[in-house]
Chains A and B, each alone.
Chain A
Amino acid sequence: MSRDEGMEVSSVFLLDNQSGSMVDAELWDAITEKNLADWEADWIPQVFDMMKALKQKGVERSLWPQSRHWHWSDKVRAVEERLSNQCFSIVCDDVTQAMMITDLTRRAQLEGQKNNHLVYIDFLETAPWNRAGLIGQPSKYSGAGSILIRAAIELSKLEGFCGRIGLHSLPQSNDFYAKAGMIDLGVDVNYQNLRYFEMTPEQADEFVIKGES
């Protein structure tokens, strides 16, 4: 695997849905050239194949993968010199399985923790083969999204933000974040009408305990 020098690597596990067993994976606290190469060479072609299949099935465009316009190379370039943004990736089988960019300069909106610092998840996406349901196929690996949420919580604790995290969700991911225990603060008219979700320190602790049990 092509790791960057100075990058922290943690051991994590993903569920291989075909075998039903847990497999070794790595959580990197960076998005490297290797990750971006995987995105370009492996993710993008599969997203295109997915869109072709959805089009053939007559599925309307609003139901196609809603993150399909995300250009990870541009997003990473935009933040690489910033102290305020921390990137993460998950690698398994020598292929990138998910990526995330966080922002440490946002404030909480939820009453009770309003204006406190939090880790805001700018972008979180799993590899197209890890997304179940869109064209009726099972996902290859499960758990990557939860590992990245956990990473955001740990970063929040490390930076003194007590586990508080927040994000705007694409409609296709609303259920995932609600099930993760985040509070839905409703549609944000100032942010592309996406729903805004936030997690309190108590909910963060519950999420971590749930993940460990």
Chain B
Amino acid sequence: MAKKTMTLNLTDAEMRVLEMLCEQKQMSKTLLLRQALRLYQRVEERLEAGGKLFIEDESTKEKSEIMML
């Protein structure tokens, strides 16, 4: 599939987070940002359909809602 190139302007703090996540996930910046876009789209789709996003603690089963813009 044809791909397009873009320039992304990030602050130092944003770049540090991006690099930290790339290190953690062993992924390139491009791949990590593509994955983030996929996840963002899925979350938006669920929220627009009336869903809520929760994080569940595996051990306690306690759920906390994540506020989304």
Choose one: B25, B28, B31, B42; the contact of A82 (CB below 8 Å).
B42
B1 touches A8 (CB 8 A): yes
Smallest Cβ-Cβ distance to A161: which chain B residue: B27
B2 touches A84 (CB 8 A): no
Indicate if A58 sits at the interface (CB-CB under 8 A).
Answer: no
Indicate if A133 sits at the interface (CB-CB under 8 A).
Answer: no
Roughly how many angstroms separate A117 CA and B34 CA in the complex, as a whole number?
Answer: 13
Max chain B Cβ within 10 angstroms of own Cβ: one of A105, A116, A160? A160
Interface string of A125-162 (1 = CB under 8 A from B): 00000000000000000000000000000000001101
Residues of B within 8 Å of A20, CB to CB, are none
Residues of A within 8 Å of B39, CB to CB, are 84, 105
Known: A104-B35, A116-B25, A160-B25. A83 touches B41 (CB 8 A): yes
Max chain A Cβ within 10 angstroms of own Cβ: one of B28, B32, B34, B42? B42
A190 to chain B, nearest CB (A): 11
Roughly how many angstroms separate A6 CA and B45 CA in the complex, as a whole number?
Answer: 25
Number of contacting residues on B, CB 8 A? 16
B27 touches A160 (CB 8 A): yes
B51 to chain A, nearest CB (A): 14
Roughly how many angstroms separate A8 CA and B3 CA in the complex, as a whole number?
Answer: 13
Residues of B within 8 Å of A82, CB to CB, are 38, 41-42, 45
A159 touches B25 (CB 8 A): no
Roughly how many angstroms separate A162 CA and B38 CA in the complex, as a whole number?
Answer: 18
B2 touches A6 (CB 8 A): yes
Residues of A within 8 Å of B31, CB to CB, are 159-160
A45 to chain B, nearest CB (A): 33
B1 touches A117 (CB 8 A): no
Residues of A within 8 Å of B2, CB to CB, are 6
Residues of B within 8 Å of A159, CB to CB, are 31, 34-35
Interface string of A79-113 (1 = CB under 8 A from B): 00011100000000000000000001100000000
B26 touches A160 (CB 8 A): yes
A105 touches B27 (CB 8 A): no
A105 touches B38 (CB 8 A): yes
A134 to chain B, nearest CB (A): 35
B25 touches A117 (CB 8 A): yes
B41 touches A84 (CB 8 A): yes
Roughly how many angstroms separate A83 CA and B1 CA in the complex, as a whole number?
Answer: 13
List chain B positions with a Cβ less than 8 A from chain A: 1-2, 25-28, 31-32, 34-35, 37-39, 41-42, 45
10 additional contacts (CB under 8 A) given A82-B38, A117-B27 = A82-B41, A83-B37, A83-B38, A84-B42, A104-B35, A104-B38, A105-B39, A105-B42, A160-B27, A160-B31
